Amino acid sequence: MYSVNPEHAIGIVGGLLALPMALIALRMHPRWRSVPGTVRAAAVLMAVSGGVHLALIPHHLATEPVTSLLFLLNGLAFIALAATFTWRYWRLASAGLLISTVLAYLVYVGIGFEGPDQVGLATKLVEVTALGLALVPVRGEAGRTHRSWRWATLGVAMPMLLVITGATVWIVDLTRPDPRHVHAGALLQATSTVATPAQVDAANRLYAATKTAILPYEDWHQAWAAGYRPGGSTTLPSSHWMNQRYVEAGYVMDPERPQGLVYANTHHGPVLLGAMFQMKSLNRFGPDPGGPMTAWHQHENICFTPVGFEFSLMTPYATCPIGAIDISAPPMLHVWIVDNPRGGPFAVDIDSSVVAAMDRS
Amino acid sequence: MEKAMPTSRPEAVFVLLLLQSIFWIVAGISALPFALGGEVHMIGLGLATLLVAVLVCLVAIGVLWRRRWARRTALGLEIVCLAGSALQLALPIGANHAPVTLLTNVVVPAAVIWLLWGRMTRSVFS
């Protein structure tokens, strides 16, 4: 959802090429100056969307001929409407085409024909903006302006389309992540698919060494004395305790000096769950001696707020709540020293039922 | 030669501010489930975001009605947004640089500023 599908990147090129072409071509229209600027802007944006759709045809032609045909019809319809902005039924036709195109995309994403990506989302934003500009009544318009139905359609369609698009794309992205995206925005390190016997042994050695090294920290006072400090709210089921000295030193997967410890916040105090190794820089994954067993992960597109050191997820529209900023955390690898039935000792996350059971005990 | 239309810049700005307001409504609502998960400060941030979304909607209506205060508020808001976005994109914090980010956080505020800037546009606001 937050990245450009390489196969769709050509769509951006198509849209960017269509923008100056539409601006030049439409300016030559004899009645260009006789319509409101909002109509002109909507026509240009529809031409951009047409350019995106037409550019996507070659990639889909071999594998999805029906989709290619729909892209062709859609692209041509957008360009035709962009050129006929003085037509009597232009607004009605444009609104119908824009709304049906956005809804068709959502159906495609919903049933899994397309994965949600930045090209699709950006194009839908352009189309919803074009819809708003096509419909918004302008002061001083001549003739029958049908202001009431235009206001009603604008007031209902724009918010509805944006909310439904955002919700659909988000739900699909969270429920059907691609193989390298897990745990709501965490990007997994690329590894082999099956661990070799040597990698299994290496993973076991790393686990044993880490567990032995951090066992003293079962007493959280010792962790405190060693320089680990809790981050974030202790009302959450678990907290990461970070050692800033180790973070800044940049030790790489050193079992004696893990950058973080993870504690369950139980009613009888912090209970040690495991360790966390963290790299110093973004996009630089650490060594993975256990292959797929010890794949690192990097949290991307998270909204971080210094107010209480809390996190939420960036929306599909790339916005965060006021007071939070979009950040990514450098790659990390967890080693869970408690039984983690759902993911194992190096999983991205600890099983929530394990933490809940600790709290109840 | 056909008569040129009066400016429709306030209406275009209304559409863009409405768009921005909806983005913030979605951001505000998205913070609330995290508050249920124990991140108590997210309640405040989520509600503050929803409040800003409502204010932006009111500013959009003010711009549509050609109110001078609305133009000034919108300009101020978008300059702050643009500066914040530029900072976020420039700092090495791993912020997203994808097309949607650029559209919502750079292109929309820049377009609003461009549409409202200048003496000609200012003259249509009372």
Question: Domain locations in chain A?
Answer: 6-176, 186-360
CB contact under 8 A, A325 and B4: no
Beta carbons within 8 Å of B43's beta carbon, 6+ residues apart: B31, B32, B35
Closest to B13 measured CA to CA, from B78, B103, B106: B78
pTM: 0.88
A230 CB neighbour count, 10 Å cutoff? 18
Q: Which residues of A touch B12 (CB under 8 A)?
A: 37-38, 41, 133, 136
Nearest to B99 among A12, A162, A323 (CB): A12
| Cα three-residue angle A173-A94-A6, rounded to 5 degrees | 35
Q: B-chain residues within 8 Å CB-CB of A138?
A: 5-6, 8, 11
A326 vs B: CB within 8 A: yes
DSSP-derived letter for residue A331 is: P
Model confidence pLDDT, tens digit, residues A231-267? 877 778 899 999 999 999 989 999 999 999 999 999 8
Query: Please, what is the Cα angle at A81 between A77 and A86, to 5 degrees?
Result: 160
Q: For residue range A98-143, list pLDDT tens digits in order.
A: 999 999 999 999 998 888 889 999 999 999 999 999 999 998 887 7
Closest chain B residue by Cα to residue A163: B26
Q: Would an 8 Å CB–CB cutoff place A129 in contact with chain B?
A: yes
DSSP of A246-314, one letter per residue? HHHHT--S-TTS-SEEEEEEETTEEEEEEEEEE-SSTT-----TTGGGG--EEE-SEEEETTTTEEEEP
Indicate yes or no: CB of B44 within 8 angstroms of CB of A307: yes
A179 has a pLDDT exceeding 80: no
Specify whether the CB–CB gap between A245 and A292 falls below 8 A: no
Give the per-residue pLDDT at A185. 66
What is the tens place of the pLDDT at every residue in A323-346? 999 988 899 999 999 999 888 999
**Which tokens hold the place of A34?**
């006789």
Using a CB-CB cut-off of 8 Å, the residues of chain B touching A171 are none
Could A141 and B92 be called an inter-chain contact, meaning their C-beta atoms sit closer than 8 Å?
Answer: no
Here the ipTM equals: 0.94
For position A33, what pLDDT does the model report? 87
Indicate the pairing of strand A238-243 with strand A228-231: antiparallel
pLDDT confidence of residue B4: 58
- CA A310, CA B109: separation in Å to the nearest integer? 27
Quick: pLDDT tens for B18-76.
999 999 999 999 999 988 877 888 999 999 999 999 999 999 999 999 999 999 999 99
* Contacts with B24 from chain A: Cβ below 8 Å: 319, 322
Q: How far is A59 from chain B (nearest CA, A)?
A: 20
